[in-house]
Structure formats: C-alpha cells, structure tokens
Structure 1
Amino acid sequence: MATARTANPALMIGMNNPTNGQLRGQTKSAGQQSGLFSVGQQPSVTQKQTTIPQSSGGIKFGDDWKKCLELPPKDHRVKTSDVTSTKGNEFEDYCLKRELLMGIFEMGWEKPSPIQEESIPIALSGRDILARAKNGTGKSGAYLIPLLERIDLKKDHIQVHVVIATPGRILDLIKKGVAKVDRVQMMVMDEADKLLSQDFVILIEDIISFLARDRQILLYSATFPISVQKFMAKHLKKPYEINLMEELTLKGITQYYAYVTERQKVHCLNTLFSRLQINQSIIFCNSTQRVELLAKKITQLGYSCFYIHAKMMQEYRNRVFHDFRNGLCRNLVCTDLFTRGIDIQAVNVVINFDFPKSAETYLHRIGRSGRFGHLGLAINLITSDDRYNLKTIEDQLVTDIKPIPGSIDKSLYVAEFHSVDQEEEEDEQR
C-alpha cells in the first residue's frame, strides 16, 4: 500500500524543535483543567489503531466470535442526527467477511452512519456511486468497507490489493509499468471536488484510460461543483446518487465571530484560551509565514503548540500529525493543508485566526471539529476587511455565524456538559 501525502487529496485505486513544527510552551493550562487531559496525556477518545487479521485466529463456525474482540472504551458522548438519523441497519446486515467485521468493531465503530447505510450495499453490488455527505459523517467508512470486502487476498495483483496515491504519483508509476492497473475493479475518489478541479482532472482521465472497461468508480465529497457533474456524465455508468446535504454545516458545530483589528488578534486568542474549555484546538492561518509566527507567539504566551504547513519536510509533518493526534499537544496552528480528510475526534474547537476567502474552505475548516456527530465550536476572528466575506459565506452556506457572547455555554462544545436528557429536551422543542 502506498500512502498519500497529506498535502494533496488522495485517490484510491484497486482497492520541540521549531524546524519540525513542535513548539512547546510552559505547562500553563488554557482554561482546560476540569475533567480533561493535560499536555502529554492522551485525549478523551482513544485513537485505536487496528489491523484486520488475515484469518479468524482459530475461531470456528458457531463460536461467539464477538467475545474475542478487543474493543476500545465505549464513546458515551451525545451524537447529533447527522450520524444518528439511520434506518437501524447493523454492520452484520451486509454479509461482510468475519475478519472485516472484527476490524470494524475493534475500531469502535458500532453502527453504520446514514452515508454508510446508503453507500455500502450499493458499492458491494458493483454500481458506480456519486455520494455527497457532510465532513465528519463517515464517508471514509462508506467506501473503505466495501473496498476491503471485495479484496481477494489469493490474487497477487492490484484489484483491490489497495493503492492509495495522489494522481500525479500513481500516473507516473502506471506509465513506468510499476503499477499495473488493468485488472483494477474499483477506483475511489475521496474529496472528488478537488480531484476533479482543473488542477487534477486531466490526470484523473489519463489514469482511467488504463483501467479495465468494467471498472467501478465511486465519488465522495461534501461539495459537488459543475466540474464533478461533467465528469460524471462522461465516465460514470448510471451512477447511484446519494445526497445527504439538506444543510451544509454540521449540526453539532456552533459558529461565532469576534470583530477585532489585526493587532488585537493575538490578545483575543489569549483570552479565548483562558476562558474556553479546550480539549484540542486547530487554529488556521492563511499563509505558512503567519503559521510559524503565530505558533511562536502562542508558546511565548505559555501554551503548548505545534504547527504544520506544506513547506515543511514530509517526515516532520507526519511526526506533528502523529503526536497531535495522540494528544501530546493541545493546540495546532496550520494552513489549509489540514482542512481535508483529517479526523481527530478530540478536537472540539476550531479557530480561524485568519478568515478564509471561500465558503468551501470555511466549510472544510470548521468540519475539523464536531466529528461524527459530536459537539464543536468554530470561532472566527474578523477584521474590517473580512466583513463582506463573512456575509457572503453565511449566505452561500445558508448558516448563521453569531457575534461571540461574553460567556460561551460549555454544553455547546464540551461533551460532559451536554447530557442525554438535555438532548431529548432540545429535540422535543425542535
């Protein structure tokens, strides 16, 4: 398996050194003492890594194989209807291989989300799919589960053993004869809107020309511009269309803006750190230079901070991502390199230190919190130059970004302050 760099969208075929982005301040807490992990500890939700076994480890037919599972701690956090509004299906309903089911459950996945319910049986049937669903609602599982199910480990070629790559790299390997894709059964394009933009679409069409004529193509994204529709008409055969985007933003994310001058931004950020109960936060800037400068400022204020951007060496980016994901630091400053495909369950606050230029970028940024139906907070620092852009993005996403109050209710973004009883009461009111 070849892994894609985080700097670029990926396509699936087959199926404390300032130079490394790790700046550490003093152990000053950022208003985050109560019931939360401190710097150096693991986040509240364990990021369990698992390998799907090649065999059932001696489990015989009729055995209660579920008793042999090594399950992660159960996640009792309240989830929104983005992931709970299902038909009631179970993963066992899809007649998946036992080894795959074991891997699914050991990852902590209990029931399929709406996008997984819609997608998995159709993908298993071999039909092309065009699927649109919100960030953080289970799109990766929607295509990975059927992809893994269809792998025949006895066949020693890419069919789906799986290749994960950026378009330019896999095309280079194909043309050199290293990657032989003539027997590929399935091609998945995650973040399809990006992969089918003018930067990549010629490469994608070139790759498709090397695939078998009866290949299956699956497209997944939160946004589908006209470029995706043109590609679909040309290359997909009677695709099954899934649209779970009645609204664009996640239900669990509360959005605020703070009107500030450029000089006030760092002071405002310091105030947020002292008043919010942050589990982990991602802070976005619009340039690599501003990322490094802000990370330095944050450490000078006494808070632990990592940073990541596209100009860093890949090995440093990998290390920063790994350590942040494992809870070794509370705050991460980054560019839009980190807006897509990043799933860190412990992130409950996203801060746009620099406001983005487009609604698409804004949507992907704030989608880094509130993952899989959980609660999150998005705070935007707005200068006078951003005020028209703020209104435009609100209108395009049909969402409401409110002025930040003097005190933010913790039940909006801190799991332990949001009870099941409160959720039921809110549902009744709606």
Structure 2
Amino acid sequence: MKLLEKAGFRKPSEIQKKVIPLVLQGKDVIGGSATGSGKTLAFGAGIIERIKKEKGLQVLILTPTRELAEQVGNAFTRFSEYKQLMVAIVYGGISINHQIRDLRNSEIVVGTPGRIIDHMERGTINFSDLKILVLDEADRMLDMGFVHDVEKIIKNCPKERQTLLFSATISGDVEHIASRHMKNPETISVEPYVDPAKLKQTYYDIPKNLKFSLLVHLLKKEKHGLVMVFCNTRHNTNFIGRNLRNLGMDVLAIHGGLTQQKRNRIMEKFNKNKVYVLVCTDIAARGLDIGGVSHIYNYDIPKTSKDYIHRIGRTARAGKEGIAINIISDRDYDNFSNVLKDSSLNIEKAETPEVEVVRMMLPNQDVQRRQRWDSRDWQSRRFNRERHARNRERSGEGKREERHERHGQENSMGGRKNFRNKSRGRNFGGRRRIPQRSRNYRSQGRRQGNRSMSFSRRGRF
C-alpha cells in the first residue's frame, strides 16, 4: 500500500486488486489490460515486495519499444526507493558502455529484446539468479517481429521462475508463448480503461486535396488540450508536421526513424505541455502514459480495428471526456471498412464544414529550392572564372602563356626542355610547375629503390 499511496492511487484499480495478490503468491499470470489501467504498478508492487537487495539479476522485464522501457524503468526506480534496489534500463540507439556498468550491480533490468540479446552475446548479462520474468505489451512485441528474440531469451532463463505476461489482446501467438513457457497461469481480464460513454467518435468524408485544410480548420476551431494526429508512415508524419509548423502552430513530430534522444526530448516536451500538437505514427499509440489528451485525429486511417482502438485509447481516460476524429478520403475507404467491422465501435458521420483551402509545401519543393541555390552557386563560380580570365588578359599574362606555348610547339623536344628549365618554378594560369631539380630527385629515388622518397614527394602519404 505504500507504493499505491506514493503513486497517487487512493484505492487500487481493478487490475491491481486482482494481480498483486497472485504476484505475491509466486503464481504465473496472464493479464489482459490496456495501457493506462495501472498494470505497471500492479506487477511492480508485487515484484518489489518479493525480491531482496542481493547481488545478481533477479527480475527481467521485456518491452517492445524504447519509450516503454524508459517509462517502466523510471517507474520501478521510483517504486523501489525505500528498498534501495538498482534498476538498469537497456535498449538500442544509445551507448552500450553505460548499460554494461549498470548491469553489474542491478537487481532489476528493463529492456527491449534486441538489446538484451546483444548483451547475452557479449556475456554482459547473467540470468543464473533470475526469479521473475515479465513480458509487457506481449502482443505488440510479437506483432513487431520479436517472436524469435523472445523465445531465445526465455530459453536462457532458469526454468524455475515466475512468469508474468501482460497484453492488451490475447492473440494466438500470445497463447502459444504462454502454453510453452508458463506453468498453470492465472488469466486476469479487466474492463477497458477508456469509457466509451465519454468518447465521441466522428468521421469526415472529404476529397483528398482538402484533408489537410480540414485538419487545420478543426485544430483552429476546436477547444482542446493536448492533441495527437496519427499518420501511417514516417514520411507523412514529417510532411504534416512541417506544414503545420509553417502555419505557426506549436507542433512536434515523432516516429521510429528518429534517434532515441530526440524521441525522449519530444515526449518530454509534450508531456509537460510545452507543445500542444503531436504528429505521430503508431509508435505513440501504445505503451506510453500520456495524460491530458483531449483530441485524437486520424489523418491516415489504420489498417485494423485493433490499431484504431489503441489510437483512440489515448483519450477519454480516467473518467475524462475525449474526441476521436477521422478524416477520410477515397484512398482510406478500405482501411475504414476494416475498422467498422468491429461492432463495438460507434463512429458517426459529421457534416463537412466549409473550409479555407490551405496551401501545402510539397515534399519535393525543398529539393527544388536546394537545386535553385545549387544552380546559383554554379553560375557564381562560372562568373568568377570568366572574371579571372578577363583580368589575366588585361595584365598580359594570357598573352605570355600563349606565346610560350607557341614557342614550345615550334621547337624540338630539346627546345621544350630548355623552355621548361627557363620557366622553372613559375605559376602559369594558377597551375604550379614543378622545378626540374625536384623531378631529378624523384627519378633518382626510383632508381635507387627508395620508394618512400618518391611516394612522399608525390604527396600520397
């Protein structure tokens, strides 16, 4: 109860009431619960009560994304203060050296499957003392293609352990993992954390060329708190975010192509209300605890109803009201029909308002702008070359060059050699001629086998 009070829970949530006693009894648990229902504290409170401060890794928590690993790891750090337990957070995209040092003295490790396997191959993580294994957001972890990685990690863990698996949906792959690696698990399911009665869902059917104009119109018209605009691709996320910023809006864009440090900074700014609009891919649809989101805009419609439910689950949480708005055009009809197959969703059609057409900067306009500048640079270089040539002509240097070249062509090779001797060390037209003595040194070096001398004088080393 100390942890619940410290985390701000006056009374345990439904999943906390059901899971904490089972964890304390050492039983395996399959928990079906959405993000934000308090499941991290549900298994965290029981784990921290069970383990002691001893040398060696005792708890391993696998998460699908870096952001979720950071979030769960920070939560365990807060929860375990009174026991002084060490928590290591390991994921890719950052230096591995600090993680290696943290792993030596940590009782709890939170990480992504890829980086955990990296440490296994390096021999920097030891599972011999492991007591508890947690698979958080297991369905998403398997959807992202971590099936073989998860299997490999589980096989390296001791057979005598407690396994806790949490998933928003219990799919066939999740059941397969549970049947192979869990012993008589207790299955817990709770009601959705999002209140359907307080979530208003609408859609606008509009021509493709007016989608962005409608989005801008709604963002300016609607009174909102934090707003999340979902796109299906990284390219579209950057494209929409850049065009909203060009209109003077406080907007940040996040997707899996950004570095981890940049993603952390963006989420920190959004959580602290330093920006009010976040354009994102499905990387922000699950696992992250973001409070105060009032509006969800689906600029691109997800392919499945499951992904749609995860997106709209970012709002209407903890008893608050929320709005989910879908902006669809003809290319979204197939995806939207897949979403509507879920009979539990009640999405009403809204009347499309008159919107002012907003001009967008097309993706290739930046390239065209750079090309224009490149052509200007080329023209500038050409102008400078012509100017230098004119100056040389005025000074008579060009005429001297022409006279010397004509003299060399008319005479024999011996004459040209004498000409080179006479012109030793002079600079004609910006090109430095090598003195004859240096040429003799080079040839002597080659004859004597001193290759270092000849190569160094040519400037190859």
- Fold similarity call, TM over 0.5: yes
Return closer, same or farther for 1:316/1:305 CA change in 2, 3 Å cut-off. Answer: same
Distance between the aligned counterparts of 1:406 and 1:198, measured in 2?
36
Is the partner of 1:183 in helix, strand or coil?
coil
* Alpha-carbon distance, 1:242 to partner: 1.1
- Distance in 2 between the 1:198 and 1:322 partners? 25
Which residue in the other structure is 2:203 paired with? 257
Whole-Å separation in 1 of the counterparts to 2:318 and 2:33: 12
Opposite residue 175 of structure 1, the aligned amino acid is E
Aligned partner of 1:5 in structure 2 is none
Per-residue CA distance 1:164-185 (angstroms, 9 max, x = gap): 1111211221232211112111
Bigger share in helix:
2
| Aligned position for 2:338 | 392
Residues 182-235 of structure 1, C-alpha deviations (whole Å, 9 max, x = no match): 211111111111223482122112111221212111111111211111111111
Aligned 1:87-98 pairs, distance under 5 A: 92=1
Give the 3-state SS of the residue equivalent to 1:193 in structure 2: helix
State the TM-score, normalized to the length of structure 1.
0.67
Q: What's the offset of the Cα at 1:297?
A: 1.5
CA distance in 1, matches of 2:346, 2:36: 20
Following the alignment from structure 2 to structure 1, what is the Cα–Cα distance between the partners of residues 222 and 331? 26
CA 1:394 to 1:117, structure 2 compared with 1: closer, same or farther past 3 Å?
A: farther
Classify the secondary structure of the residue corresponding to 1:328: coil
Name the structure 2 match of 1:268.
Answer: 214
Name the SS of the counterpart of 1:130 in structure 2: strand
Match of 2:47 among 127, 147, 150: 147
Cα distance in structure 2, aligned partners of 1:405 and 1:137:
34
Cα pair 1:120 1:145 within 8 Å, conserved? yes
CA contact (8 A) 1:291 1:334 kept: yes
From the superposition, tell whether residues 391 and 319 of structure 1 become closer, same or farther in structure 2 (CA, over 3 Å): same
Aligned twin of 1:307: 253
Q: How does 1:149-168 map to 2 (within 5 A)?
A: 149-153=49-53, 155-160=54-59, 161-168=107-114
Q: Whole-Å Cα distance in 1 between the matches of residues 279 and 113 of structure 2? A: 27
Match of 2:135 in 1: 189
Read off the aligned partner of 1:323 and give its amino acid letter. K
1:301 maps to a residue whose letter is L
Q: Distance in 2 between matches of 1:192 and 1:248?
A: 20
Contact persistence 1:124–1:146 (CA under 8 A): yes
1:114-133 Cα offsets, whole Å, 9 max, x none, are 11111111111111111112
Compare relative contact order (CA 8 Å, sep 6+) and give the higher one, 1 or 2. 1
Please give the alpha-carbon distance, in whole angstroms, between the structure 2 residues aligned to 1:110 and 1:236.
33
Counterparts of 2:170 and 2:271, CA distance in 1: 29
State the 1:139 CA deviation.
2.0
Structure 1 pair 109/288, CA: closer, same or farther in 2 (3 Å)? same
Q: TM-score, normalised by structure 2?
A: 0.63
1:112 equivalent in alignment to 2:25: no
Moved over 3 A (4+): 245-252
Q: In 2, Cα distance between the equivalents of 1:130 and 1:377?
A: 31
- Bigger Rg over Cα: 2
For 2:274 and 2:347, locate their aligned partners in 1 and report how far apart those are by CA, in whole Å.
31
Matched residue count: 306
User: Which blocks of at least 5 consecutive residues in structure 1 are unaligned?
Assistant: 1-91, 93-100, 408-430
1:370 corresponds to which of 292, 309, 316: 316
* Aligned-partner Cα distance in 2 for 1:190–1:379: 29
Matches within 5 A, 1:21-32: none
Q: Distance between the aligned counterparts of 1:286 and 1:197, measured in 2?
A: 16
How far did 1:286 drift? 1.3
Partner of 1:170: 116
Amino acid at match of 2:167: S
Which residue matches 1:128? Answer: 28
8 Å CA contact 1:370, 1:376 repeated in 2 = yes
Distance (whole Å) between structure 1 residues aligned to residue 270 and residue 191 of structure 2: 30
- Residue matched to 2:188: 242
The answer as to whether partners of 1:257 and 1:404 remain within 8 angstroms in 2 is yes
How many angstroms does 1:384 deviate by? 1.9
Partner in structure 1 of residue 278 of structure 2:
332
Distance 1:272 1:370, change over 3 A: same
Aligned residue for 1:357?
Answer: 303
The equivalent residue for 1:8 is none
Out of 366, 380, 383, the residue aligned to residue 326 of structure 2 is 380
User: Which SS does the other structure have where 1:196 is aligned?
Assistant: helix
Q: 1:375 to 1:247 in 2, by over 3 A?
A: closer
Matches within 5 A, 1:6-17: none
Give the CA deviation at 1:367. Answer: 1.2
User: Any residues of structure 2 matched to 1:178-217 within 5 Å, and which?
Assistant: 178-197=124-143, 199-217=145-163
Paired with 2:186 and 2:44, the residues of 1 have a C-alpha distance of: 17
Runs of 5+ in structure 2 lacking a partner?
Answer: 60-106, 354-461
8 Å CA contact 1:251–1:373 kept in 2: the answer is no
Structure 1 CA distance, aligned partners of 2:330 and 2:139? 31
What amino acid does structure 2 have at the position aligned with 1:349? H
Percent identical across equivalent pairs? 32
Q: In angstroms, what is the RMSD of aligned CA positions?
A: 2.1
Instruction: Report the Cα offset of residue 405 of structure 1.
Output: 5.6
How far apart, CA to CA, are the structure 1 residues paired with 2:192 and 2:254? 33
Deviation track 1:315-359 (CA, whole Å, cap 9, x = no partner) reads 111111111111100001011121111111111111111111112
2:232–2:282 contact (8 Å) kept in structure 1? yes
Find out whether 1:319 has 2:319 as its counterpart.
Answer: no
Return the alpha-carbon distance in structure 2 between the equivalents of residues 251 and 130 of structure 1: 28
Separation of aligned partners in 2, 1:401 and 1:147: 41
Residues 208, 330 of structure 2: 8 Å contact kept: no
Distance in 2, Cα, partners of 1:125 & 1:341: 27
